[in-house]
Structure 1
Amino acid sequence: MKLGELTERLFIEGVLRNYLGKRPPFSRLGFPDDAVDFLPLAPRIVVSVDASSIASVKLPWRSLGDAAWAIATGAVSDHIAKGSRPAYALVSLGLSPDLDLSEAKAIVRGLSEAFNYYGVSWVGGDTNSSRDPWISVTMIGFTTAKRPPPRSGARPGDAVVVTGRYGAMGYVALRGVEEASRTTWVVEKTRRPLVDVRVGTVIALNYKSIHASMDVSDGLGFTIMEISRLSGVGFRVEKPPLVFKEVYELCEGRLQCLYELSLNGGEEYGVVMTVSKEGLGNVVEDLESYGVEYEVIGEVVEGSGLKLEGVNKVAIYGWDQFGGYVKSA
C-alpha cells in the first residue's frame, strides 16, 4: 500500500501515534492536539531545529530506518554540545504519496528507536507531502548552565578538547562511497552514528571554564575552522584526536594520514571544546569519571585558522547541504 492510498489522518492515527512517547508529566495537551505543554525540567530551556532530506544521509548501507536514526542523532547532538539534556521532540515529516507504507513505517520506527535510545520523548509534530522525503526535528532540552557555551567564545590560551573517535566518515569522504561500502568496519561504525549524552552533563557542570563548544556534525576540521572564524583566533593542533583502531592500522601511525582521515568526514557527533587552563583539570576529571572518550589535541592561539604540528598542510573538507563535501582550507 502507498501513502497516497491512505488519508493523512489514517497515517497519523494508525501509524504515527503508536510511536509517540507518553504525555509529559502534568501536561494538559497532547495527541491529537496541535501543541503540547510541559513543565521545565531545569532553569534554562534550549530549543533547536535540525532538518535534512533523507537522500542526503542515505548512504548505500543505511536503511531508511538508519537514515532516520542519523537525522534524530544530529538533533540530539546539537543539545549535547551546549550542555543541554534533550527531553522532548517534535517531528515534521515530508513524505511522498508514492512511498510504500512499509517504507514510511521504517522511517518512523528509526526515529522512535533513536529517541528511545537517547531518552527523548517524541510528543508530536506534523506531516506533509513531498516528492523528496525529509525530516525536521524540533528538539527541546534543559540545562543547568547559566551560560551555555557558544561557538564564538574561544580565547587564546584555551586548551582544545575533542570527545569521541574519528576516521570512519573521513574514509567515506576521502576514499569514496563505493570503496567504503566494501569496508566492513566503516559500514559498521557509520550505519547508525551515536552521541555520548554524558558530554552534555560535563559541559553543564563546567560551563564557566568552557569558553566555546560545537558538535562535530560536518567534519572535525570544519568544526575547528568554524570556531576559529567566529572567535577570531587560531588553533594549534599538536596531536590527532582519538581514532578507531582500524584507522591507526591503516595509517601505520603516520601523522599525515591520521590527520587527513580524522579531520575530514562528518556525523561523528563528538564535541570540540575550548577550555581555560585553570578549568581543564576539572573538565578532564569529569570526562574520565563519566567514561567519556576524549583527547586534548592542542591550544587556542592568536591569529586565525588551523596549524597542524609535524605535518604538511592537510586539505580540510566539510559537509555543505547545497554543495556536498566542499574544501574549507
Structure 2
Amino acid sequence: MGPDSSQDAQTVSQLGEFGLIDRVTAGRPQSPGTLIGPGDDAAVLAAPDGRVVAATDVLVEGVHFRFDWSTPEQVGRKAVAVNLSDIAAMGAVPTGLLVGLACSPDLPTNVADELSAGMWEEAQRVGIGIVGGDMVSATSLTISITALGDLQGREPVTRSGARPGDVVAVAGRLGWSAAGLAVLGRGFRSPVAVVGAHRVPEPPYAAGPQAAVAGATSMVDTSDGLLADLGHIAEASQVAIDVRTEQVEVPQRLIEVASALGADARHWVLTGGEDQALAATFPPGRPLPEGWRAIGVVAEGAGVTVDGGEYEGPAGWEHWR
C-alpha cells in the first residue's frame, strides 16, 4: 500500500481520478515547447526538428522498487531518470513526459503526492514537465513513463554505428547502484552515498547531446550493466568490443563496501545496472567530450570481451532470467 497506510489518510479513490490528475499537475511549470499541456484529450508539443524521439519504461513495485528501501519521492525521481537517460542516449534533449499510474484504490494520496513531486523534481533538472498521462486501478503499483525528446537537427546516435578502430568511452557513474542494492539486500542503510545511488540514479543527461555533437558513432545507456549494454552495440554494429580494465575506474568507496560485504567491486562496475550511465563509441584520434573517459576499443569480430578474454559470470541484468 505504501509508506503511510494509516486509516486517517485520504486515498486516491476518495479523491477520484480527475481530482488526482489536477492534484499532480496543477500549477506545475512546463517547458516553452509545450503548446497544450495537461487537461485536454492529448498534449501538443512543438517539434522544431520535425522528428520526435520517444522512450518508455515500466516500473513495478516489488520488482523495480520497494517502499521499505526507497521513499515515494525517490521512486518518482528514478522512474523519470531511467526514461530521460534513454533520450540522452540517442543524442537528443528531453521535451516532455507522459505518465501512466496504476495503483490500488486505497493508495494514500500523500504517497501519490510524493511520487509526483519526485517526478517533477527530476523533470525540472532538464527543464521539462509532465504533459499528460493516465491513471487506473490495479492490484499492484505500476508506473509507466514515456519520455519525448528533440534531436535539434542532428542525426540520432543509434547502437548500430560503431566501427573497428573506434574508442569505447563512458560518462557517468558505474557500479554504484549495484553496490547500493547489495547493501540494502544485506539489511543495511549505509553508506548513504552508495545506497542513495541505487534509490536515485544520476544520469549524465547533457553528455548524450555532447557526444552526438562530438561525432559519437554509437551510444547506449547502461540500464542493464556496462558489458550487457555494450553487447547491444556490438550486436547491432556487427563488431567486437574489448573493455580494458586498466582504464575502468573502480571507486575507492565501492572497494571498501565490497570488502565489507565479501563482494567484487569490479564486478559491480562491469555488470551492475541502473546507474543510467552512457556508453558510446567515438572515431579514433579525436579528443573525447568533457566528462567522457575511454575504457576500450572496437575491433573486427563479435561480442564483448574484457582484457581480450570472455568475462566469467553474467554480464548484466536480464528480465525473466
Instruction: Give the TM-score range, shorter chain.
Output: 0.7 to 0.9
Asked if 2 retains the 8 angstrom alpha-carbon contact of 1:65 and 1:106, the reply is: yes
Report the more deviating stretch, 94-103 or 170-179: 170-179
* 1:35-64 residue CA offsets vs partner (Å, 9 max, x unmatched): 122322445431222222133232543112
For the residue of structure 1 that corresponds to 2:38, the secondary structure is: coil
Task: State the 1:99 CA deviation.
Answer: 0.8
| Whole-Å separation in 1 of the counterparts to 2:151 and 2:113 | 33
| Whole-Å separation in 2 of the counterparts to 1:301 and 1:168 | 29
- 1:140 and 2:138 correspond: no
Amino acid at match of 1:128: V
Asked if 2 retains the 8 angstrom alpha-carbon contact of 1:48 and 1:75, the reply is: yes
Task: State the 1:30 CA deviation.
Answer: 3.3
Asked if 1 retains the 8 angstrom alpha-carbon contact of 2:183 and 2:195, the reply is: no
* Residue among 40, 46, 49 paired with 1:39: 46
Task: State the 1:24 CA deviation.
Answer: 4.4
TM-score normalized with structure 1 length: 0.83
* Residue among 285, 290, 293 paired with 1:295: 293
| Whole-Å separation in 2 of the counterparts to 1:53 and 1:214 | 23
Q: Superposed, which structure 2 residues align to 1:94-243 within 5 Å?
A: 94-172=102-180, 177-178=185-186, 181-206=189-214, 209-239=215-245, 240-243=247-250
Q: 1:25 to 1:118 in 2, by over 3 A?
A: closer
* 1:54-83 residue CA offsets vs partner (Å, 9 max, x unmatched): 332325431122112111001100011111
Amino acid at match of 1:57: H
For the residue of structure 2 that corresponds to 1:120, the secondary structure is: coil
Gaps of 5+ in 2: 1-9
Q: Superposed, which structure 2 residues align to 1:229-268 within 5 Å?
A: 229-239=235-245, 240-249=247-256, 257-268=264-275
Aligned position for 1:327: none
Aligned position for 2:99: 91
- 1:314 and 2:312 correspond: yes
Task: State the 1:312 CA deviation.
Answer: 8.0
Q: Superposed, which structure 2 residues align to 1:57-96 within 5 Å?
A: 57-59=64-66, 60-96=68-104
Aligned position for 1:11: 20
Task: State the 1:117 CA deviation.
Answer: 2.0
C-alpha RMSD of matched pairs (Å): 2.6
Asked if 2 retains the 8 angstrom alpha-carbon contact of 1:81 and 1:203, the reply is: no
Q: 1:91 to 1:21 in 2, by over 3 A?
A: farther
Q: 1:2 to 1:89 in 2, by over 3 A?
A: same
| Whole-Å separation in 1 of the counterparts to 2:34 and 2:179 | 48
* 1:240-299 residue CA offsets vs partner (Å, 9 max, x unmatched): 5334331245679xxx94531201211111111111114x32xx1xx22xxx2x320110
Q: 1:19 to 1:190 in 2, by over 3 A?
A: farther
Asked if 1 retains the 8 angstrom alpha-carbon contact of 2:31 and 2:128, the reply is: no
Give the share of equivalent positions with the same residue, in percent.
Answer: 27
Amino acid at match of 1:72: V
Asked if 1 retains the 8 angstrom alpha-carbon contact of 2:179 and 2:195, the reply is: no
Q: 1:169 to 1:189 in 2, by over 3 A?
A: closer
Q: 1:176 to 1:63 in 2, by over 3 A?
A: closer
Amino acid at match of 2:244: E
For the residue of structure 1 that corresponds to 2:186, the secondary structure is: helix
Amino acid at match of 1:113: E
Amino acid at match of 2:268: L
Task: State the 1:189 CA deviation.
Answer: 2.5
Asked if 2 retains the 8 angstrom alpha-carbon contact of 1:263 and 1:316, the reply is: no
Gaps of 5+ in 1: 324-329
Report the more deviating stretch, 90-99 or 35-44: 35-44
Task: State the 1:143 CA deviation.
Answer: 1.3
Asked if 2 retains the 8 angstrom alpha-carbon contact of 1:222 and 1:317, the reply is: yes
TM-score normalized with structure 2 length: 0.85
